[in-house]
Amino acid sequence: MTSNQVNEYRRRFMAGLGLAAGATLAPNFILRSAQAADVVARPDNEPASSAKRWGMLIDANRLTDGGASMVEACKREHGWGNDPQASAEQQPQWMRVVKVTDKHTKHSFTLPVMCQHCENPPCVDVCPTGASMKRADGIVYVNKHTCIGCRYCMMACPYKARSFVHEPLKDQKPHSPRGMGTVESCNLCVHRIDKGQLPACVEAAPHAVIFGDLNDPESRISQALKALGGTQIRADLGLNTGVRYLNI
C-alpha cells in the first residue's frame, strides 16, 4: 500500500466511524473535532469555485494550550517566524496567540488569531495592484507576483493579520513561496485544501477545531454553527469572517 492509499483508507474508515457514531447520537449533537472528510480534494485542473466557502470554527475552551501548538504547526508548515536578520518586531507572524482580559472582572482567555478570511475584506479593497485577493472559494491571500510591498493591506486589516518580509530568504518551503518585499498572511493552507487535506493548524488541534464548507448547510461546520452559534471577532465591522470562535 502506498501512503496515499493508506490515507484514503483511513479517511474512509474515519468517515465510516463518523456515520456510525452519528446514527446512534441525538441528531443535534455535534462532534467537535476536525475530520479529513470535511475537505474533499478538487481535481488538479479544476479552478476553485464559489460554490464553496471555507471556514473554521475554533473552540477556545478546548485549546488546552491557548493555541500555541496551532501557531507552531503554521510556522513549521510555511517556514515563517525565524527570518535570520529580522528583529523580534519584524518577524513575520501569520498567526499569533492573543490574550484578552476583561478590565472589570479580570477574567482572561486566549485565542489564536490569523487572517479571518473576511467575506468583504478591507485588505482587498485598498490594494492598488490587485495583489491582495479573494479566491472564488473565499480564501484571502496575497498574489506575490503582483505585490509591490506598499503595505496598505497591513494598515487596512483590522486583525493585524498581515506581515511584511524584510530580508532576502533562502530555502523556502516549495509549497509556500515567501520573499523579500512582499506581504504575507495565513492563506488557509490553500495548497493543502486543494489536495483534500486539512490546514496544518487544524491538524495540530483536531479536538478544538472544525473546518469545512460554510456554504453547505449539511457540512459539519455549518451544523455546528447552527447549533452552537459562534462569535466573529469585531463582528461590528460587518466583514462576515470565515473564522469563527466558540467560548470567547
Partner 1 sequence: MFSTLKSILGVVACAWILVGCEAAPPPTNLAPAKEKAAQCVEPTEDIRKNHMAYLMQHRDATVIEGIRTKQHSLVECINCHVTPTRADGSAVHYEDKDHFCASCHTYAGVKIDCFQCHADRPDLASQTNYQHKLGSAESYHFSTKLSASPALSAQDMQAITSGVVQ
- The residues binding partner 1 (CB under 8 A) are 2-3, 42, 44-48, 133, 135-137, 143-145, 168-175, 177-182, 190-191, 194-195
Q: Which is nearer to ligand SF4, 35 or 116 (CB)?
A: 116
Q: List residues bridging with 108 in a β-sheet.
A: 101
Output the nine-digit C-alpha cell for 188: 488557509
Binding residue for ligand SF4, selected from 53, 117, 135, 178, defined by CB under 6 A: 117
Q: Does 114 bind ligand SF4 (CB under 6 A)?
A: yes
> What distance in Å separates the CA atoms of residue 236 and residue 244, rounded to the nearest whole number?
14
The item of partner 1, ligand SF4, none sharing an interface with residue 32, based on CB under 5 to 8 Å by kind, is none
Q: Which residues pair with 55 in a beta bridge?
A: 212
Cβ proximity to ligand SF4, 11 vs 77, nearer residue:
77
C-alpha to C-alpha distance for 42 and 23, rounded to whole angstroms: 28
Give the distance between the most distant pair of CA atoms in the chain: 59
Q: By CB under 6 A, which span of 3-11, 144-152, 157-165, 219-227 interacts with ligand SF4?
A: 157-165
Residue 70, exposed/middle/buried by CB under 10 A (0-12, 13-18, 19+)? buried
* CA end-to-end distance (rounded Å), the chain: 44
Residues of this chain, 5-64, that bind ligand SF4 according to CB under 6 A: none
Cell of 91: 518577524
Q: Which three cell numbers stand for residue 191?
A: 495548497
Smallest gap from residue 16 Cβ to ligand SF4 (A):
27
Give the three-class secondary structure for 42. Answer: coil
**What is the rounded CA–CA span in Å between residue 204 and residue 73?**
6
Stretch that binds ligand SF4, among 6-14, 28-36, 71-79, 82-90 (CB under 6 A): 71-79
From the list ligand SF4, partner 1, none, partner contacted by residue 244 (C-beta under 5 to 8 A by kind): none
CB of 127 to partner 1, least distance (A): 14
- Give me the residues that bind ligand SF4 (CB under 6 A), please: 73-74, 77-78, 94-95, 114-118, 121-123, 140, 157, 159, 161-162, 185-189, 199-201, 239
